[in-house]
Structure 1
């Protein structure tokens, strides 16, 4: 559609760069407050959670409208099917590779092989409320809003593509989307406050010393996710003659926002604008990014097997090849529900444990003590993998038009 109005990237250009600087300063202040004033820092968690509750009513409609406009704007159901099929196939392949990488990393590094006497330094709750975990997991599976939103938006977009008044309706939807986007831009001024509160709380509650027994687990997770980004995604990008390093620099502001808020959804409208500006088609971005929130969670796919095998090693649970195969199959399913809310990867881990039956649910308390720090790596990896997926699918669809202003090509 020629009259299709793109998201105004100039609205977020300088603003986002300044915002990223504020977030960085806020994170440093959060570390200082959490370390030197822990009794105050522990009470600041509400700043982060309140911000997420504040933007959620706007994020969901923006995602919904992006999908509807993207699908209806294609005007060709065959192309919608092509994009969806290629995207889901790619997501399944890439997340399966991530799971296998997580299993291999945990078996090779053996993060659970640590001195058991050191575990007593962790403040582990006497028991976990199974009702709370199972209730949250059940609600999360039944009321997985991103997936329901995705299906409804695709159906509405398809129905809209058959309408005689399609162009007029799409223009009206674009105006609503742009209005919501502008509101989000103003709300994003609060991101540094949310980042400050979240970091102050994390440092106050867990500190540095309490993380030492789980340092090997954290190191294994971060190293494996870094390897996935730079080796796996880097090789795929190189095949398409795109520099992964340039791409990461291009989206650095969004990465800092995701890190500061522990939620990839906060940067949704920003990454959509960035990808379209880089040359990805509106149709591909409108389908791939929302689809990726449920099906392309590489960070969760790495996190789940590492944590599961960590517990097996820590509690000396013997695992056969059949057991490892069962773990992989279960995680292929549970990793797909780790979306929608910050920390949902931990809910997926709970579902994994309760499904496998071989792992003590009490170990979740131990893992929960560092989940805040695991969540940062998990969310960043999910976000990078999702953004990279949109670029790769655009290339597969031969629907990528390089922007001379955004040089992402590999230079020899």
Structure 2
């Protein structure tokens, strides 16, 4: 943990880096170049897809070890095992509260602005085959199946498969066991703490490829779908982006204010990661960096290790706004009038289905299919109306989810008395204090 003297020295003597070496500048340039390539040479832009896919695979490769090492060393370093359950419980209360609020916000905005009204589309004209793949995945993503899937086949299989919740499950159990054996487990604890240093150094190395990944992903998106494909559905896209922005600035902004920090400063602090999420349309691409940055900002290591991986499955504010907004948009476009009771049923089903498909690639679209499948008034085939623009909304879903998890980490740390307020305000006031992801200089108690 940084001392007051170290904070002072960092604040007055930030490291000066040439602008062209700053990650977020490189990512911005890459995104712009990707958009230009996709617009003017769409066929070539489509061929850039492997660059984005390769970068996301590289990051996913390192996610499991990062979560495992952070959680195990964090829990094993705690003297009171009840604290683990306490942190997890507080995190779930936060997740359920604000995920539900996000669903309600989406429903209110859809009823107020009615982005689908006036389209008068005949349900018989829809081609259900276009969304059949998503519907089949949605049927496989039941809540029971999701809970059973948290338990891995073997102790080490999560580290190979990369399922975030399975990794978290095994890491919590192993961390508790390591703490329970006391001094006999100290060599294992020291080994894992030391192993974390090169693992986070590897994260720093992989992040240098972020501009290439963002360029490839953005070139493919614009080249394949084209900006003009938003067309007559611009109202839905615009409504979703504005709603998500207001949710972040107003709802999460108030949460931040009452917990003693600024949402705008937090966003500035994680701007590099947000640009990476924007470029790749995947919040997982910045998960390792987010864990490092939240710990560096004074959040307790056990809280970071538990809240962020859990949040990737249970704290999906952007996805939840999208689900109710998109479902009601489809109903409005097909001239289907849903009563208040039917809309409440839709909201309740969305609360469950959003957990059932958590962690699945394309979860936003799949959970929407799962929700509509249970509410017969709105045909699942209506999803074809938004299939072409879903890619353009995935960036906003990922960004909102990402910011929501950063806020949750600070709030839960404060609730549990594991937040260093001096360090938090120093880092948010001067983000240059935190450099590349590395654990050098941190102790197990940090």
* TM-score, L = length of structure 2: 0.82
Question: Quick check: 2:138–2:370 contact (8 Å CA) kept in 1?
Answer: no
- 1-structure distance, mates of 2:57, 2:127: 27
Aligned pair in 2 of structure 1 residues 169, 137: CA closer, same or farther (>3 Å)?
Answer: farther
Question: Quick check: 2:131–2:384 contact (8 Å CA) kept in 1?
Answer: no
Partner of 2:43: 39
- 2-structure distance, mates of 1:54, 1:239: 38
Aligned pair in 2 of structure 1 residues 54, 170: CA closer, same or farther (>3 Å)?
Answer: same
Aligned pair in 2 of structure 1 residues 132, 251: CA closer, same or farther (>3 Å)?
Answer: closer
Aligned partner of residue 241 in structure 1, secondary structure: coil
- 1-structure distance, mates of 2:16, 2:139: 38
Deviation at 1:55, TM superposition (A): 2.7
Question: Quick check: 1:338–1:348 contact (8 Å CA) kept in 2?
Answer: yes
Question: Quick check: 2:128–2:380 contact (8 Å CA) kept in 1?
Answer: no
Residue pairs, 1:115-134, within 5 angstroms: 115-116=119-120, 127-128=129-130, 130=132, 133-134=135-136
- Greater CA drift, 301-310 or 201-210: 201-210
Question: Quick check: 1:243–1:408 contact (8 Å CA) kept in 2?
Answer: no
- 2-structure distance, mates of 1:305, 1:126: 20
Q: Which segments of 5 or more consecutive residues in structure 1 lack a partner in the other structure? A: 2-8
- 1-structure distance, mates of 2:134, 2:342: 27
Aligned partner of residue 302 in structure 1, secondary structure: helix
- Greater CA drift, 67-76 or 22-31: 67-76
Of 283, 307, 315, 2:326 maps to 307
Deviation at 1:363, TM superposition (A): 2.2
Aligned partner of residue 74 in structure 1, secondary structure: coil
Runs of 4+ in 1 over 4 A off after TM superposition: 12-17, 139-144
Q: Which segments of 5 or more consecutive residues in structure 2 lack a partner in the other structure? A: 2-9, 151-162, 431-446
Deviation at 1:392, TM superposition (A): 0.5
Aligned pair in 2 of structure 1 residues 157, 376: CA closer, same or farther (>3 Å)?
Answer: same
Deviation at 1:101, TM superposition (A): 0.6
Aligned pair in 2 of structure 1 residues 289, 191: CA closer, same or farther (>3 Å)?
Answer: same
Deviation at 1:162, TM superposition (A): 0.2
- 1-structure distance, mates of 2:347, 2:204: 40
Deviation at 1:137, TM superposition (A): 5.7
Deviation at 1:311, TM superposition (A): 0.4
Q: Is the counterpart of residue 182 in structure 1 residue 201 in structure 2? A: yes
* TM-score, L = length of structure 1: 0.89
- 1-structure distance, mates of 2:280, 2:233: 23
Partner of 1:6: none
The number of residue pairs the alignment matches comes to: 397
Q: Is the counterpart of residue 26 in structure 1 residue 45 in structure 2? A: no
Of 404, 410, 427, 1:406 maps to 427
C-alpha deviations, 1:101-142, integer Å up to 9, x for none? 11101111101114458x9xxxx8672262564147627955
